[in-house]
Amino acid sequence: MSKKIAIGGDHAGFTYKAELSRELIAAGFEVDDKGTHSEDSVDYPDFAHPVAEAVEKGETDWGILICGSANGVAMAANKHQNIRAAICWEEELAILARSHNDANVVCIPARFITIETAKKIVKAFSSTDFEGGRHGRRVGKIGC
């Protein structure tokens, strides 16, 4: 998987976003931070849509969204026709989201997992390729 990533989240995801961004940059990824830039209360769609748009337009190769439960950011991102945002709370889900569903945005529930687990999820997501084959046929049926 490529090395240009859009990342964003709301106030509940701010700390994880900052930590994951540092780790990704240190690992050689180019990170496009779409905000938020503090722990002040904000509305998650204001950050989910810019991440989804960057991925959808090909400005970045994939995205990371973080909020308290990951539900809100996933719902917002999945409104975009070519986005497949997956909520992942463990490594195996990230691997399956990429390999079977060709997910291009990983959504992390910051209030329910540790930062160490979040790092493992991102690493698994970034290092897994889509298998294609029968999974490609199924992914092809997702869009409306």
What amino acid positions are annotated as catalytic residues?
67, 100
- DSSP run (H or E) holding 109: strand 105-109
Q: What is the dihedral of CA 14, 17, 23, 24, to 10 degrees?
A: -150
**DSSP per-residue string spanning 28-52:** T-EEEE----SSS---THHHHHHHH
- DSSP run (H or E) holding 68: none
Joined together, the tokens standing for residue 95 give 């691997």
